[in-house]
Amino acid sequence: MNIGLNLTKEGLLRRKSVAASTALVFLTSSVLIGVGGNSSAQAAADCANKTLQLLSVGDPFEYALKEVLPQFTAETGIKVNLESLDNQTLSSRLATAFVTKKSDLDVVTVDNIWVGQYYDNGWILSLNDLIKANKDVDLKDMVPGVLYSISEWRGQFVGLPMAPYAQGVMYRTDVYKSLGIKTPAAGWTWDEYLANARKINGKTVNGKKMYGTVIVGKQPVPIVHMYTQLMAGQGARWFKKFPEAPWDFTPTLASKQNIRAATMYRDLYKVSPKEAISFDWFAAGMRFADGDIGQMYWWTPYFYLVQNKGYMSGKPSPIVGKYAIADLPSEKGKPANISTGGWQLSIPSTAECPEESFKLVKWVNSAKAQKAMAKVDKYGTQFSDFGRYSNLRDPELVKMYPYLPKLEKMLEAGNGKVSRPGMQIYPALEGVYGLQLNKILLGADVKKTLTETNSLFSNLLGGNMLLPYKGKSYDDTLQATKDLIASLS
């Protein structure tokens, strides 16, 4: 069901929404609700004087964003109150606020894996009309794969990216050299990645005993983020056909490709610190900064975060100058299937002043604001999560973050809708998947566990009337997003 903005001359905003559901069962019913107040001078004055409430996830960009928001206020006169929460608390709070329709939020950060649930339930607005009316958004400056993976759903842009992430490999150059391991080259394979980890594991380099790699093991959500990159890299899919049309949500988790991927992930755990079974995103990424990990693949913000000893500590880590960035491995002769994820700014359907909210959304997404965030030096320069070519190719920024040309290629090759498909009940499926993957790390039979996972998925999908799927499909391809960009530009 498509939900768009319709702004008249009088500023009247109306929308259709689908009533929200419980965490596992998403029953829908259409209601018509007026949003945005009336066209009176008083309403306009109230919006002009409003302090925007911005609820953000506590990801790395939060630190830079907080420092540059006063610039937005200076330019627009609009004040912003920033509140941040961890990933899972944010998800719970947003769902509660949207279900009860008692939210006072004006702008929220939305993970790409939530977009299907949020938009189909009428919780966030389409920005298509606002983008078309504001030519300074400059969609053509943005990497199409970023918009496709993070912000597009059913032909609507439901937000604008503020921190897109790809995945790549960080490896210790001194460890590779000491052990005579060949520098990763384009086209290297996952088998080579595992072989290198085994060569490193247990060896002592410069007086420190090394682990081959480090994985994310914490369930239910964190483990899925790392595992699905390996899963996509092996050519495995979640469903029989999605995001291409016609949609068929028959789960395919017990495929031979996924069995191979899960087996390899458990093998990688065997050459990781044992405590990695409980590592979340930050714990795994920052463990690389401690100096006893030979290599790891992970989200691209860690390309800069690991320069600190401890998360946002401002103290140089022992690996500064001793690591490099490599492309993701792939299956021999096949593309790498890079996972793209990250955060966008969206406008809740309950927002009282959507035009003012959009001013903040487009400002944070702008090349100017993104560069300002990149130059914040409170804990060392700690932001390079760009989705715009003008930032990725800016000579000053490339000097600060030398890996930007490589990051650009990663983002261009990324596909977040294959690795973590944000369809309507993705959060519920992810919760089940994470529990099952954690069991595999602890020794459960791979094939049996994935077959069981497939059955659990089928039950959830069937209970939510998605299997067999009889709803309307959208041929959600990168080309369709490119066409949408052209139509709004």
Q: Check: CB of residue 247 under 8 Å from CB of residue 425.
A: no
Per residue in 314-340, pLDDT (tens digit) is: 999 999 999 999 999 998 888 889 999
| Shared-domain flag, residues 154 and 258 | no
- CATH number, domain with residue 174: 3.40.190.10
Which residues make Cβ contacts (< 8 Å) with residue 239, sequence separation at least 6?
A: 247, 248, 249, 250, 251, 252, 421
Look at residue 36 and tell me whether its pLDDT is greater than 90. Answer: no
Residue 238 lies in a domain: yes
Query: 468: cis peptide before it, omega within 30°?
Result: yes
Same-domain check for residues 250 and 375: no
What kind and span of H or E run contains 58?
none
Burial class (CB in 10 A: 0-12, 13-18, 19+), 207: exposed
Q: Is 101 a residue whose pLDDT tops 50?
A: yes
- Residue 487 included in any domain: no
What's the confidence (pLDDT) of residue 41? 76
Residue 4 resides in a domain? no
pLDDT of 20 higher than 60 = no
Is 296 contained in some domain? yes
CA–CA dist 114, 97 (Å, integer): 15
Instruction: Specify whether 47 is located in the same domain as 159.
Output: yes
Asked if pLDDT for residue 112 goes beyond 50, the answer is: yes
Q: What is the pTM of this model?
A: 0.89
Which pLDDT does position 85 carry in this prediction?
94
Residues 152 and 63 in one domain: yes
Tell me, yes or no, whether 7 lies in a domain: no
Quick one: DSSP state of residue 276? G
**Into how many domains does the chain fold?**
3
In the chain, the amino acid numbered 378 is K
Largest CA distance in the chain: 73
**pLDDT exceeds cutoff 80 at 15:** no
β-strand partners of 108: 55, 346
The DSSP letter of residue 134 is -
Specify whether 50 is located in the same domain as 126: yes
Residue-wise pLDDT for 344-401, tens only, equals 999 999 999 999 999 999 999 999 999 999 999 999 999 999 999 999 999 999 999 9
pLDDT over 60 (residue 87): yes
Q: Are residues 280 and 394 in the same domain?
A: no
DSSP states of 427-472 as a string? HHHHHHHHHHHHHHHTT--HHHHHHHHHHHHHHHHHHTT-SS--S-
CA-based R_g, the chain, Å: 22
H or E stretch including 34? strand 30-35
Expressed as residue numbers, the domain containing 245 is: 216-262+422-482
Instruction: Tell me how long the chain is.
Output: 489
Specify if 28 maps to a domain. yes
Within-domain flag for 6: no
* Per-residue confidence band for 88, with pLDDT thresholds at 50, 70 and 90: confident
* Backbone dihedral angles phi then psi of residue 383, each to the nearest 5 degrees: -160, 115
Distance, CA of 260 to CA of 237 (rounded, Å): 13
Task: Indicate if 158 and 106 belong to the same structural domain.
Answer: yes
H/E run at residue 484: helix 478-488
The CA distance from 464 to 184, in Å, is 44
> Could you report the per-residue pLDDT of 143-201, keeping only the tens digit for each?
999 999 999 999 999 999 999 999 999 999 999 999 999 999 989 999 999 999 999 99
What is the per-residue pLDDT for 183?
96
CA gap 473, 417 in Å, rounded: 15
The answer to whether the CB of 36 falls within 8 A of the CB of 352 is: yes
